Amino acid sequence: METRIVHRESFIVKGYEMKGPVSDIPKLWNRLNEELQKVPTVYRAEESFGITLGIEGEIFHYLAGIKDEFSVAVSDMKEIVIPGGNFIVSEVIEGIGSISDTFSEIMKQPGIQLRRSYCFERYIHPLGAEGYTTEVWVAIEE
């Protein structure tokens, strides 16, 4: 697995949230994507974020969203501030089903000290592109 260290300034994500089993997460993304299809192209984001806000047993508190500046045409979204700092990042190679494995592998990297912050998935989908790239971002100490 290839990783890189990225320093990122804090940013705001707005999106829809859920509390439930991981199997409900695709429904949340469907809701977000349906709403985003209704907005003018000028407001279309080229990246989106999946943020795990908490896990209690089998219940995930999860937000699917976009950067704040692209949310002006979509209503009723929850706002989350992602604190700035260093992150260890890896591309998810084998599709969405391997996201949790990618997170696990990153967290096992030698010499990495996790930082108390949000970890997230970043989906990169340039306008006009057929597909997208998925990355996982894990907050680490400087």
DSSP of 52-103: EEEEETTEEEEEEEEEGGG-TT--S-EEEEE--EEEEEEE--S-GGGHHHHH
Q: What CATH number is associated with residue 127?
A: 3.20.80.10
> Is residue 50 pLDDT above 90, yes or no?
yes
For the chain, the average pLDDT equals: 90
* SS3 at position 43: helix
Domain count, the chain: 1
Give the domain range for residue 120: 4-140
pTM: 0.90
> Is residue 72 pLDDT above 90, yes or no?
no
